[in-house]
Structure 1
Amino acid sequence: MERVIIFLVLLITTTITAQNKAEMDLKKAIDTFFEGFHKGDTLLMKSVMYNNMLTQTTYKDREGKGKLVTDDVAKMIQTIANRPADQKWEERLLDYNIQIDGTMAHVWTPYEFWVNHQFSHCGVNSFQLFNDEGQWKIIYLMDTRRREGCNQ
């Protein structure tokens, strides 16, 4: 009986440790993406982006109708790389809700967006990631953008 209990404790401990490492690795991938975003370092951003990454934004228009816009990743990268030096963009992530199943993960991150230290908008990022030979890569990013219902 004692051996069974020890085995179960070791199994649970190993599972929790592996899950925690995966969560830390996922958070690091998201943080690396935003570190590059804040610095305008698109090579750093690309280091955690999958080759065919897809980006979309959803929001409500002035009439309250939902809109879905598919963005061109190359255009996004170009915009970030060519941002004027006097313009500071800061996306403050408020939380990380991480779900993992094998080589697939979903990370939900509520955020606030600031331009030159002025609040712009808030929303949620929904990241889909793929574990590509031991490195988590962002394959899909969808975000919401709004000004109402924010903590500002």
Structure 2
Amino acid sequence: MKKLILLIVFSLSLSIQAQDTDAKAVKTTITDFFEAFHNQDTTALRTMAKGDIKLQSISVNKEGKSVLTESEYNQFLKSIASIPKDNTFEEKLLSFNIQVDGNMANAWTPYEFWYNGNFSHCGVNSFQLIKEDDEWKIIYLVDTRRREGCQK
């Protein structure tokens, strides 16, 4: 009986270590995504996504109604490349909440967005990722955007 209990404990510890390793890899993928984003490196950004993923943003319009805006990844890449080089922008990630189940992961990342040194908005990114050939790829990204209730 003691051997069975030790085997179960050992198996659980291996599973927890694997999830921790995957969570770190997911965080690295997202960190690398934002490094490429800030550097306007659309080639690197393209390799981090699985195909032409859909991006969505949730905001509130002037009438106080929720608005869902959708865009294709290729359009996002074009807009990033078109930002004038003399403009600065930074999306500051405030924390990471990563959950992994096998080859699927979700990362919840609250953020602040700064443009030319001025606060623009805040919100949360929700990334969905797939693990293929030991590499995490973004398959879906939705974010919220607001100007009120931010930590700044």
TM-score category of the 2 structures, normalised to the smaller one: over 0.9
* Alignment deviations for residues 69-107 of structure 1 (CA, whole Å, 9 cap, x no partner): 111321210111121111111001111111222221111
Instruction: Give the TM-score normalised by structure 1.
Output: 0.94
* Alignment deviations for residues 100-132 of structure 1 (CA, whole Å, 9 cap, x no partner): 222211111110001122111000001111112
Please tell me the residue identity of whatever aligns with 1:138. Answer: I
What's the counterpart of residue 132 of structure 1? Answer: 132
What's the counterpart of residue 31 of structure 2? Answer: 31
The question of 1:108 aligning with 2:108 is answered yes
Q: Given that residues 56 and 70 in structure 2 are in contact (C-alpha distance below 8 angstroms), is that contact kept between their aligned partners in structure 1?
A: yes
| Alpha-carbon offset, residue 49 of structure 1 | 0.7
Please tell me the residue identity of whatever aligns with 1:36. Answer: A
What's the counterpart of residue 11 of structure 2? Answer: 11
Please tell me the residue identity of whatever aligns with 1:43. Answer: T
Please tell me the residue identity of whatever aligns with 2:140. Answer: Y
Please tell me the residue identity of whatever aligns with 2:38. Answer: H
Runs of 4+ aligned residues of structure 1 deviating over 6 Å after TM superposition are none
What do you get for the CA RMSD once the two structures are aligned? 1.2
| Alpha-carbon offset, residue 133 of structure 1 | 2.2
- Listed as ranges, the matches of 1:1-150 within 5 Å are 1-150=1-150
> How many residue pairs end up in the alignment?
152
| Alpha-carbon offset, residue 63 of structure 1 | 0.6
Q: Given that residues 98 and 105 in structure 2 are in contact (C-alpha distance below 8 angstroms), is that contact kept between their aligned partners in structure 1?
A: yes
> How far apart are the structure 1 equivalents of 2:56 and 2:26?
20
Unaligned 5+ runs, structure 2: none
Unaligned 5+ runs, structure 1: none
Please tell me the residue identity of whatever aligns with 1:67. Answer: V
> How far apart are the structure 2 equivalents of 1:48 and 1:72?
15
Q: Given that residues 105 and 128 in structure 2 are in contact (C-alpha distance below 8 angstroms), is that contact kept between their aligned partners in structure 1?
A: yes
> What SS does the corresponding residue of 2:4 show, helix, strand or coil?
helix
Instruction: Give the TM-score normalised by structure 2.
Output: 0.94
> Could you tell which deviates more after superposition, 7-16 or 30-39?
7-16
